[in-house]
């Protein structure tokens, strides 16, 4: 018998690739942080002995979820600025609060709170865009979580940078510091086309090409933003990005609720990736990303929660449910928003969106062992007619009790292994009381 580090026996296993199906009584063998076998439980038991055995035959096991867009530290602003439109929410509430309260210490605390919430609900990889990205990288590394950090580039002064030049200087230094890290990837994060000059965006395109970096940007978030573009530059922001060469597989365009047929063609031809944030878009009444049309054009669409202040949770299972229901409503067709498609968007398509599909997003031999395990012995999961539906529509975030990142168990029996839950909640409460109470 071969010796491996870990064996996981599952009741249902959703590999996502090479086929997006539910396998019964299958499991996974892990060695040296990688998946080395995906086979029936009986076969694994006969062929391998393991240092750790997880008998989870009352669980659904699937790839770790990928939150393709968010602002982790904004968990500290959860509930602030409720019931406002996007522009009012940003200008009247969020940006003033950030200027007053979100220093490096607060970003570290808010990020740890977000990481704890994400790991506890099955997310193993997150993409983040926020001030003090050095603190975000440090917290993710300490928690053993995989992330893409898109350092924020904006033309006006923030608590972290004086202008776009300063942001690029600091962000590229961060990229150099984590260039060879197995968990942390650094990418470019221009906040939006309307908060940068064309010259700034051209520099982003130059660095993306020279350094082969991903670029994540808020784009066409609502109708007011697009109307502003036509007033300011006589064309859409997406047309500007096309004209300066930013549309490419490296671009991760977030929100995209306002798109013409011609713009969808540009996206498809350039293989630009999209991040759909259904809950945030509904909460801010920003509009609806035309996911069905994008997917029909072969465009990759991942899922993101956005920040804790505009969602207000970071539970990707809840995000999948909202995405599924919104798709059915938007298309007036219950055949859209299929549960298995939502699972793929939250795993392999999310990985592809942020350029990590060769490492994560599916349970395949050779990939990193990023795995989420969900209990089925819950009221909302029984009876088990459809494992995909049980996850997407059955409140599965509450049933996550084991999570692995890079082969390491970071959540075991519902307990975070690297984060002290009680101490974190106490620190969060003290921070809030010191600033707001």
C-alpha dihedral sign at 280, 328, 126, 393: positive
Average pLDDT of every residue of the chain:
97
Residues 293 and 183 grouped into a single domain: yes
Within-domain flag for 422: no
Residue 236 CA to residue 217 CA, distance in Å, equals 15
Question: Could you tell me the residue range of the domain that residue 368 belongs to?
Answer: 2-64+363-416
DSSP 306: -
Residues 384 and 348 grouped into a single domain: no
Q: Which of 323, 353, 383 is the last residue of a domain?
A: 353
Within-domain flag for 427: no
* pLDDT range class, residue 90, cuts 50, 70, 90: confident
Instruction: Please give the pLDDT value at position 435.
Output: 86
Q: Could you tell me where the beta strands, DSSP code E, fall in 111-176?
A: 123-128, 146-153
Closest CA to 215 of 69, 316, 18: 69
Q: Does a cis peptide bond (omega within 30 degrees of 0) precede residue 18? A: yes
Instruction: Please give the pLDDT value at position 69.
Output: 98
Summarised one tens digit per residue, pLDDT across range 217-236 is 999 999 999 999 999 999 99
For residue 120, give the 3-state DSSP assignment: helix
Closest CA to 109 of 437, 419, 319, 436: 419
Residues 29 and 119 grouped into a single domain: no
Under 8 Å between Cβ of 188 and 216: yes
Q: Could you tell me where the beta strands, DSSP code E, fall in 180-298?
A: 184-190, 215-219, 251-255, 273-276
CA 191 to chain centre: 16
Instruction: Please give the pLDDT value at position 173.
Output: 98
Within-domain flag for 240: yes
Within-domain flag for 432: no
Instruction: Please give the pLDDT value at position 437.
Output: 72
Summarised one tens digit per residue, pLDDT across range 259-299 is 999 999 999 999 999 999 999 999 999 999 999 999 999 99
Under 8 Å between Cβ of 318 and 391: no
Residues 49 and 75 grouped into a single domain: no
Whether the pLDDT of residue 133 is over 80: the answer is: yes
Residues 225 and 281 grouped into a single domain: yes
Residues 22 and 103 grouped into a single domain: no
Within-domain flag for 425: no
Mean pLDDT of the 160-170 span:
97
Closest CA to 186 of 236, 152, 231: 152
Instruction: Please give the pLDDT value at position 85.
Output: 85
**Predicted model pTM:** 0.97
Please report, for the domain that includes residue 195, its CATH number.
Answer: 3.20.20.140
Instruction: Please give the pLDDT value at position 222.
Output: 95
Instruction: Please give the pLDDT value at position 55.
Output: 98
Residue 190 CA to residue 399 CA, distance in Å, equals 36
Residues 135 and 57 grouped into a single domain: no
Whether the pLDDT of residue 87 is over 90: the answer is: no
CA 248 to chain centre: 20
**Residues 6+ away with beta carbon under 8 Å from 240:** 193, 198, 201, 229, 233
Residue 94 CA to residue 34 CA, distance in Å, equals 41
Instruction: Please give the pLDDT value at position 129.
Output: 98
Residues 228 and 209 grouped into a single domain: yes
* pLDDT range class, residue 52, cuts 50, 70, 90: very high
Residues 49 and 190 grouped into a single domain: no
Between the CA of residue 296 and those of 268, 291, 332, 339, what are the distances in Å? Answer: 10, 8, 16, 17
Residues 160 and 209 grouped into a single domain: yes
Mean pLDDT of the 188-215 span:
97
Q: Which of 328, 353, 378 is the last residue of a domain?
A: 353
Residue 65 CA to residue 351 CA, distance in Å, equals 9
Within-domain flag for 349: yes
Within-domain flag for 437: no
Residue 382 CA to residue 362 CA, distance in Å, equals 25
Residue 197 CA to residue 192 CA, distance in Å, equals 10
Tally of structural domains, the chain: 2
* Count of helices and strands (H, E) across the chain: 17, 17
Residues 53 and 71 grouped into a single domain: no
The full 3-state SS of 47-73, as one line of letters, equals HEEEEEEEEEEEEEEEECEEECCCCHH
């Amino acid at each position: 018998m071969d010796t491996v580090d870990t064996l996981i026996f599952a009741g249902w296993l959703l590999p996502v690739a090479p086929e997006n199906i539910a396998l019964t009584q299958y499991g996974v063998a892990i060695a040296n942080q990688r998946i080395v076998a995906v086979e029936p439980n009986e076969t694994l038991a006969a062929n391998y002995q393991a240092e750790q055995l997880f008998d989870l035959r009352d669980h659904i096991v699937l790839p770790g979820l990928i939150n393709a867009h968010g602002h982790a530290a904004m968990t500290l602003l959860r509930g602030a600025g409720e019931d406002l439109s996007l522009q009012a929410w940003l200008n009247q509430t969020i940006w003033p609060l950030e200027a007053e309260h979100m220093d490096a210490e607060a970003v570290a605390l808010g990020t740890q709170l977000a990481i704890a919430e994400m790991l506890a609900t099955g997310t193993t990889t997150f993409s983040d865009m926020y001030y003090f990205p050095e603190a975000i990288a440090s917290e993710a590394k300490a928690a053993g979580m995989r992330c893409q950090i898109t350092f924020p580039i904006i033309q006006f002064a923030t608590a972290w940078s004086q202008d776009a030049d300063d942001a690029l200087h600091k962000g590229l230094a961060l990229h150099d510091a984590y260039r060879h890290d197995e968990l942390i990837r650094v990418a470019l994060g221009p906040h939006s086309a309307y908060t940068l000059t064309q010259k700034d965006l051209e520099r982003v395109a130059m660095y993306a090409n020279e350094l082969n970096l991903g670029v994540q940007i808020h784009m066409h978030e609502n109708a007011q933003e697009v109307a502003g573009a036509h007033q300011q530059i006589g064309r859409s922001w997406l047309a500007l990005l096309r004209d300066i060469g930013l549309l490419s597989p490296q671009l991760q365009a977030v929100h995209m609720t306002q798109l013409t047929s011609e713009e969808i063609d540009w996206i498809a031809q350039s293989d630009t990736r999209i991040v759909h944030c259904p809950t945030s878009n509904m909460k801010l009444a920003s509009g609806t990303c035309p996911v069905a049309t994008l997917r029909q054009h072969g465009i990759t669409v991942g899922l993101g929660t956005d920040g804790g202040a505009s969602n207000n949770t970071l539970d990707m299972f809840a995000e999948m449910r909202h995405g599924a229901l919104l798709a059915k409503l938007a298309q007036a067709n219950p055949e859209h928003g299929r549960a298995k498609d939502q699972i793929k968007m939250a795993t392999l398509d999310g990985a592809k969106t942020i350029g990590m599909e060769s490492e994560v997003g599916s349970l395949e031999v050779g990939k990193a062992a990023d795995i989420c395990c969900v209990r089925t012995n819950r009221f909302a999961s029984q009876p088990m007619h459809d494992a995909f539906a049980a996850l997407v529509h059955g409140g599965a975030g509450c049933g996550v009790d084991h999570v692995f990142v890079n082969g390491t168990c970071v959540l075991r029996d519902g307990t975070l292994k690297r984060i002290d839950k009680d101490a974190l909640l106490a620190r969060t409460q003290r921070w809030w009381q010191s600033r707001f109470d």
